[in-house]
Amino acid sequence: MEFSLNGENGKYRKIEQYDPETTKEISEHYKKIIDLVGEDSSREGLQQTPMRVAKSMQFLLQGYEQDPEEILRSAMFKEDYRQMVIVKDIEIYSMCEHHMLPFIGKAHIGYIPNGYITGLSKIARVVDAYARRLQVQERLTTQIKDCIQQTLNPLGVAVVIEAQHLCMQMRGIQKQSSTTTTSDFTGAFERVATREEFIRLIRG
């Protein structure tokens, strides 16, 4: 699955490549849902909606087609830098696996290299590859930590995610302001002083 903009005669054309069979099947289910909630899926404004939603869902859940470890491995560079590297405020758009509603927030990632560094964008790509799946925030946090630890073998990894869950805002308990914070640490970040330095730097 790919989403790209392709220049042609000075114009930009949107090219979406989704498996046509899968897209058709998903859209048929959404057509039924639209009718079942009391709408008329054949009315003009809704005719293209099932197809749009089918593409949209495939976009939002594209992480299943990505290999996060491979993403990291694709840009590993030998480097003798053994201090903390932090990429903070990485936007997260994930989908809660209980209600299939978004949870939205930020991830802050730190690691201390052990002979190898990785491309900074690859850290954000790893976050996206796991976020674009049906998730709970706790598992998302741990998967990112495990991936970086296992692939880069750094002296330590720190992951903090802060997110708001639409399933708690739009429905259910309807708490508009609550934020959920999850964290996971390995190696050097298990020491209080290192962890506190990380927390101070992401808050700064």
Ligand X SMILES: Nc1nc2c(ncn2[C@@H]2O[C@H](COP(=O)(O)OP(=O)(O)OP(=O)(O)O)[C@@H](O)[C@H]2O)c(=O)[nH]1
Separation of alpha carbons 24 and 28, rounded Å: 6
Closest distance between Zn ion and the C-beta of residue 138, in Å? 13
Q: Rank residues 137 and 151 by Cβ distance to Zn ion and give the closer one.
A: 137
The answer to whether the annotation marks 167 as part of a ligand binding site is yes
If contact means CB under 5 to 8 A according to the sort of partner, which of ligand X, Zn ion, none does residue 26 touch? none
- For strands 85-96 and 134-135, give the pairing: parallel
Report residue 34: phi and psi, to 5°: -60, -45
The answer to whether the annotation marks 96 as part of a ligand binding site is yes
Separation of alpha carbons 177 and 19, rounded Å: 39
Separation of alpha carbons 132 and 124, rounded Å: 12
Q: Rank residues 70 and 91 by Cβ distance to ligand X and give the closer one.
A: 91
Examine the residue annotation and report whether 99 is marked as an active-site residue of this protein: yes
| 10-21 core/surface letters (b: 16 or more CB in 10 A; e: else) | eeeeeeeebeee
When asked if residue 167 is in the footprint of Zn ion (CB under 5 A), the reply is yes
Among the listed ranges 6-14, 20-28, 88-96, 106-114, the one in contact with Zn ion (CB under 5 A) is 88-96
Examine the residue annotation and report whether 137 is marked as an active-site residue of this protein: yes
If contact means CB under 5 to 8 A according to the sort of partner, which of Zn ion, ligand X, none does residue 172 touch? ligand X
Examine the residue annotation and report whether 174 is marked as an active-site residue of this protein: no
The answer to whether the annotation marks 147 as part of a ligand binding site is no
Give the 3-state secondary structure of residue 83: coil
Closest distance between ligand X and the C-beta of residue 129, in Å? 17
Residues 95-114, mask of contacts with Zn ion (x by CB under 5 A):
-x-xx---------------
Separation of alpha carbons 42 and 155, rounded Å: 58
Q: How far is CA 22 from CA 3, 42, 48, 58, 159, in A?
A: 16, 21, 16, 9, 34
List, by residue number, the catalytic residues.
Answer: 96-99, 137, 165, 167
| Residue stretches of the annotated binding site | 96, 99, 167
Give the interface with Zn ion as residue ranges (CB under 5 A).
96, 98-99, 167
| Residue stretches of the annotated binding site for Zn(2+) | 96, 99, 167
